[in-house]
């Protein structure tokens, strides 16, 4: 069945090729059209041939290679489809566990399964890990393989069809100052999660109320007993939120990337889940303390460290730590006192340890997937930032912006809008800050650049440090070591493949668009017909002062709009806090981009940025970590926890000696099993770290630094006059509705991408306009109307 479609495709290709025999025997002329694959092979294999003239033998070779590549792509497409099915099945099974867990049927069946597992070598620990924890780990591993296959890319037509089928679900539906911008998918997900929480609470509390039993240590009235049950079940709701809490902030192992959501955009899900968890946990803890208080047993229960069962003191410590972390993460503190937020948030280790001791190992396996993946990723990120590199060049702009040029391995490729995390030990040994990459790996294979806007203590210290070296002699300049994590970015560039693009930036939010523009130019310059990019782009740039326009200097050559370009870029600048005119965009860019450059003296070899390992390698490391954890968990429990088999044999032997004597029923402390989970996890990270160190060392060992070439290339600047087709306005913010209407009239296309990067108020305004102007999904309208796809870029976390 597979050969017939391929034969038909090649027959169509021959017809479209408009091939005609020439007077030269044995040659064929390609007058009009060549299949995409054949065109690429032709340009690579015969760069010096006569225009569109190849021999029949060479054309047959091209055709054969195109067929082989087509078969390979079909195989990749089949693998991608199979991986999608596997991921859907895993996710469905894992979610089914959560919905079935509160039911009496599942409780009875699961207790029976655990009793049966106790008599096996795996024990109930292995069963809990395999059923509750491993599905999410498996989903992450399969997702990495899927993303790697997806990044190889499909045709533009495929992306257009896929995007048109999902744009209606991903476009904004709700825009609010309180909750931000929500799409229909997000609204549906929130609704289903709330429904799940309501179902869990109802199932548990209805069963509790039918079988109320007094607490032996507490003499409670009926209402007090019911209220205590309600408080207890609120703890389960906090547990459900904690199970998902760490998944949105994963960077390299981000499961949200599978559905196209980058981790910088999913951070707000972490905030929502954390707030809900703290609310549920606070009600759980405060209500329990209230019941202890009215029953006059609070002095006995509040400091009790139970030998078995729940450890109340551990729960109280976890609640206090969680409240402190949540309070210091509020926007009022995080934005003004970032250092406090950053350091206090590292108390998550204490929170998780005391939660484990309070809830017990069986409950912890439900929330362990996020903890496991976060721990493995944290380890890989630490190793990824080693060894440190150095800043090659720094440029100081008049608008208090510094551009940093960093060395990059030639094999490191990244997509536009990617970000890196940077740590400068000379400023702070612990703080990491995220920055959007402004360069393109398709333009410069040896270096990457970022723009840093001075606004806080850390960024101002960096600016002052570089400025202090401006007047020093070249031999006295001191290099600035930096540690880099990333880059992290989208796995493909399908979010750029529109007929037209409207880019809206505010202030330093221009940074991701600088990389987008350079990537589009570089890709189209290669003449690769496989990638379709927009032919018309309009950039709306809103700044406070005219000197802020200097940040456009890296793309000033692109603003010239040469006739040979296959695309047209129009820039509209709005200066909000100045009232003056007469200067053109080009003059302002040249005036505001009079930078001061510092070339740091590099003594000895420097290491380039290598970025994360391959997705296949990361998936393999996660697999190693999970296997090692499982082995150590089983081994430790066999060594330190008596098995049911040994207990039963001991009980039988004692019955033989004396039938009147009963086997002593002694239980070890319940926290022993909790400590064994921690120990197994530490051993898993240690073994995985050893393998990762070896792989990292082998990768870095192959590097040959070429400092002079890198520095020379990074310091070159393009020159040229900016075309005067661009516009600049002073004294106010843009009327975005007029901007949208004018752009829609100019383009006349139906497939338009709208990207916005800047303040939240700007994102909300653009999202609201996209919701109003997009008409492609409105019913009763068969005409070809504009379809606007909204993308909000987040560059600060």
Q: Most confidently modeled of 545-554, 639-648, 704-713?
A: 545-554
The H-or-E segment that residue 401 falls in is strand 401-407
For residue 288, pLDDT beyond 80: yes
Asked whether the predicted pLDDT for residue 589 surpasses 90, the reply is no
In Å, what is the CA distance from 794 to each residue of 181, 390, 505, 653?
A: 12, 26, 11, 68
Distance of CA 467 to the CA centre of its chain: 34
634-668 in b/e burial notation, b at 16+ Cβ within 10 A? Answer: bebbeeeeeeeeeeeeeeeeeeeeeeeeeeeeeee
pLDDT class of 240 with cuts at 50, 70, 90: very high
Of residues 468 and 591, more confidence is placed in 468
Is there a cis peptide before residue 487, judged by omega within 30 degrees of 0?
yes
> pTM surpassing 0.95?
no
Q: Residues 619-623: contacts with CB within 8 Å, 24+ apart?
A: 619/140, 619/141, 619/142, 619/144, 619/145, 621/376, 621/380, 621/688, 621/691, 621/692, 622/137, 622/140, 622/141, 622/144, 622/253, 622/373, 622/376, 623/141
The predicted structure's pLDDT at residue 80: 86
Residues 567 and 199: their CA atoms lie apart, in Å, by 54
% pLDDT > 90, the chain: 31
Of 670, 696, 795, the residue nearest 264 (C-alpha): 795
Range in 214-218, 690-694, 752-756 with the lowest mean pLDDT: 214-218
Question: What value does the mean pLDDT take over residues 438-463?
Answer: 89
pLDDT at 509 over 70: yes
* pLDDT at residue 168, rounded to an integer: 54
Average pLDDT in the chain: 79
Q: What pLDDT score does 315 carry? A: 92
* DSSP codes joined into one string, 761-780: HHHHHHHHHHHHH--TT-TT
Express each pLDDT in 295-325 by its tens digit: 777 666 677 777 766 788 899 999 999 999 9
CATH number for 389-609+718-792: choose from 3.30.530.20, 3.40.50.80, 2.40.30.10, 3.90.1150.10: 3.40.50.80
Q: Is the predicted pLDDT of residue 156 greater than 60, yes or no? A: no
pLDDT band at 726 (very low <50, low <70, confident <90, very high): confident
Q: Are 518 and 553 in contact (CB under 8 A)?
A: no
Q: Note the pLDDT tens digit of each residue in 605-661.
A: 678 888 888 899 999 999 999 999 999 999 998 888 765 444 444 444 443 444 444
Domain ranges of the chain: 3-73, 389-609+718-792
Residues in the chain: 797
What's the CA angle centered on 360, arms 363 and 309, to 5 degrees?
125
Q: Does pLDDT of 518 surpass 60?
A: yes
H/E stretch holding 597? strand 596-599
415 contacts 492 by C-beta, under 8 angstroms: yes
pLDDT beyond 80 at 277: yes
pLDDT, tens digit (0-9, with 9 covering 90-100), for 359-399: 988 899 999 999 999 999 999 999 988 888 999 989 998 88
Those residues with Cβ within 8 angstroms of residue 109's Cβ, 6 or more apart along the chain or in another chain: none
Average confidence (pLDDT) over 544-567: 76
Supply the DSSP string of 57-101, one letter for each residue.
HHHHHHHHHHHHHHHHHHHHHHHHHHHHHHHHHHHHHHHHHHHHT
State how far the Cα of 797 lies from the Cα of 792, in Å rounded to an integer.
Answer: 14
Interval 465-478 mean pLDDT: 77
Q: Which residue has the higher pLDDT, 690 or 663?
A: 690
pLDDT for 659 equals 42
98-119 pLDDT, tens digit each: 999 998 888 888 888 888 888 8
Tens-digit pLDDT profile for residues 132-141: 999 999 999 9
Q: What are phi and psi for residue 516, nearest 5 degrees?
A: -65, -45
Rounded to 10°, the helix 3-16/56-100 angle is 130
Residue with tokens 């709306």: 540
């Amino acid at each position: 069945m597979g050969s017939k479609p391929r034969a038909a495709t090649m027959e169509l290709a021959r017809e479209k090729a408009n091939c005609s025999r020439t007077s030269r025997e044995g040659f064929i002329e390609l007058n009009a059209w060549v299949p995409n694959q054949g065109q690429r092979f032709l340009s690579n294999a015969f760069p010096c041939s006569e225009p569109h003239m190849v021999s029949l033998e060479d054309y047959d070779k091209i055709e054969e290679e195109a067929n082989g590549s087509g078969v390979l792509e079909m195989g990749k497409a089949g693998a991608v489809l199979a991986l999608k099915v596997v991921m859907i099945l895993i996710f469905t099974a894992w979610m089914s566990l959560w919905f079935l867990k509160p039911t009496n049927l599942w409780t009875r069946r699961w207790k029976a399964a655990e009793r049966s597992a106790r008599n096996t070598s795996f024990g109930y620990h292995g069963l809990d890990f395999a059923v509750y924890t491993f599905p999410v780990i498996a989903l992450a591993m399969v997702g990495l393989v899927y993303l790697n296959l997806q990044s190889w890319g499909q045709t533009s037509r495929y992306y257009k069809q896929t995007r048109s089928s999902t744009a209606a679900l991903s476009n904004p539906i709700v825009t609010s100052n309180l909750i931000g911008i929500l799409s229909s998918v997000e609204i549906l997900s929130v609704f289903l999660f709330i429904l799940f929480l309501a179902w869990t609470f109802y199932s548990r509390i209805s069963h509790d109320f039918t079988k109320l039993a007094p607490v032996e240590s507490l003499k409670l009235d009926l209402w007090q007993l019911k209220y205590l049950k309600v408080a207890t079940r609120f703890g389960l709701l906090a547990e459900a939120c904690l199970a998902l809490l760490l998944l949105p902030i994963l960077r390299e192992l981000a499961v949200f990337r599978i559905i196209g959501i980058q981790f910088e955009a999913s951070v707000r899900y972490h905030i929502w889940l954390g707030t809900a968890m703290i609310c549920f946990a606070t009600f759980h803890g405060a209500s329990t303390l209230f019941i202890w208080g009215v029953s006059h047993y609070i002095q006995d229960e509040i400091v009790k460290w139970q030998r078995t069962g729940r450890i109340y003191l551990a729960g109280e410590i976890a609640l206090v730590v969680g409240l402190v972390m949540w309070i210091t993460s509020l926007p009022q503190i995080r934005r003004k006192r970032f250092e406090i937020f950053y350091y206090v948030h590292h108390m998550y280790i204490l929170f998780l340890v005391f939660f484990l001791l309070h809830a017990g190992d069986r409950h912890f396996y439900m929330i362990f997937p996020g903890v496991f993946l976060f721990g493995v990723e944290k380890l890989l990120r630490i190793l990824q930032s080693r060894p440190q590199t150095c800043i090659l060049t720094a440029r100081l702009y008049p608008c208090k912006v510094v551009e940093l040029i960093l060395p990059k391995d030639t094999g490191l490729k990244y997509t536009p809008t990617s970000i890196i995390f940077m740590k400068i030990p000379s400023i702070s040994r612990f703080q990491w800050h995220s920055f959007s990459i402004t360069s393109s790996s398709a333009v410069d294979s040896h270096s990457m650049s970022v723009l840093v806007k001075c606004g806080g203590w850390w960024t101002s210290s960096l600016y002052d440090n570089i400025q202090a070296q401006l007047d020093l002699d070249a031999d006295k300049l001191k290099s600035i070591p930096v540690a880099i994590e990333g880059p992290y970015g989208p796995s493909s560039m399908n979010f750029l493949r529109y007929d037209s693009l409207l880019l809206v930036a505010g202030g330093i939010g221009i940074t991701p668009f600088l990389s987008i523009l350079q990537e589009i130019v570089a890709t189209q310059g290669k003449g690769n017909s496989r990638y379709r990019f927009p032919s018309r782009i309009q950039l709306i740039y809103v700044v406070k002062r005219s000197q802020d326009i200097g940040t456009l200097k890296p793309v000033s050559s692109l603003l010239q709009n040469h006739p040979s370009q296959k695309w047209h870029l129009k820039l509209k600048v709005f200066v909000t806090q100045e009232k003056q005119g007469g200067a053109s965009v080009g003059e302002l860019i040249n005036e505001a981009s009079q930078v001061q450059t510092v070339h740091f003296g590099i003594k000895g070899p420097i290491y380039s940025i290598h970025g994360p390992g391959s997705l296949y390698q990361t998936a393999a490391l996660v697999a190693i970590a999970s296997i090692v954890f499982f082995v150590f968990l089983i081994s430790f429990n066999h060594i330190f926890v008596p098995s049911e088999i040994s207990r039963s044999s001991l009980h039988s032997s004692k019955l033989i000696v004396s039938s009147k004597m009963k086997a002593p029923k002694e239980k070890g402390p319940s926290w022993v099993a909790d400590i064994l989970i921690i120990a197994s996890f530490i051993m898993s990270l240690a073994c995985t770290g050893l393998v990762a160190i070896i792989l990292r060392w082998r990768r870095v060992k192959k590097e040959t630094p070429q400092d002079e070439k890198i520095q020379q290339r990074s310091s070159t600047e393009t020159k040229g006059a900016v075309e005067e087709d661009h516009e600049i306005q002073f004294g106010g913010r843009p009327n975005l509705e007029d901007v949208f209407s004018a752009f829609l009239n100019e383009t006349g296309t139906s497939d338009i991408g709208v990207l916005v990067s800047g303040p939240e108020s700007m994102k909300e305004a653009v999202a609201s306009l996209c919701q109003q102007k997009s008409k492609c999904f409105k019913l009763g309208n068969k005409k070809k109307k504009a379809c606007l796809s909204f993308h909000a870029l987040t560059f600060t976390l």
